[in-house]
Amino acid sequence: MTTSTIRIDVTLDDNRMPEQITWNASDTTAPDDRTARALMLSFWDPADRAALRIDLWTKAMMVDEMADFFYQTFMTMADTYDRATKQKELSDDIRNFGKEFYKKFRDLQLKEGKL
């Protein structure tokens, strides 16, 4: 049996707000730590039947980046759910929600003159 390790380091400011997020994995070919502006990490606790989450983002994370991050997360969640359950209709519902979310974000950006 092999063990793989993922290390996440979060640098906090004096108010304990994330300033920098770096990560690395033991199975990667990347020689150096990778930098991220946000992370969403979820665990499933079978005893409590509850999702345990860590959601962090740095001060540098821009609103448009957050929208892209959420959109891409919805899409990959749909792919994962489809592979795990073979329930295409529900997976497509997640994808459709993600597309509608992103469309509404873009429409708001246009309305506010940010695009």
- Whether this model's pTM surpasses 0.85: yes
**What are the backbone angles phi and psi of residue 89, rounded to the nearest 5°?**
-60, -45
Number of domains in the chain: 2
Let me know whether 53 and 14 are in one domain: yes
Question: Residue 56 pairs with which residues in a beta bridge?
Answer: 39
DSSP sequence for 42-93: EEEETTTTEEEEEEEE-TT--HHHHHHHHHHHHHHHHHHHHHHH--HHHHHH
Let me know whether 51 and 71 are in one domain: no
Let me know whether 68 and 45 are in one domain: no
Let me know whether 36 and 19 are in one domain: yes
Let me know whether 40 and 67 are in one domain: no
Question: Residue 44 pairs with which residues in a beta bridge?
Answer: 51
Q: 65: Cβ–Cβ under 8 A, 6 or more apart, which residues?
A: 37, 38
| Alpha-carbon torsion, ordered 96, 102, 104, 110, to 10 deg | -150
Let me know whether 31 and 84 are in one domain: no
Let me know whether 54 and 67 are in one domain: no
pLDDT tens string 9-55: 999 999 999 999 999 999 888 889 999 999 999 999 999 999 999 99
What domain range is 29 assigned to? Answer: 1-59
Let me know whether 41 and 87 are in one domain: no
Let me know whether 35 and 49 are in one domain: yes
- The yes-or-no verdict on residue 78 having pLDDT over 80 is yes
pLDDT tens string 80-113: 999 999 999 999 999 999 999 999 999 999 999 8
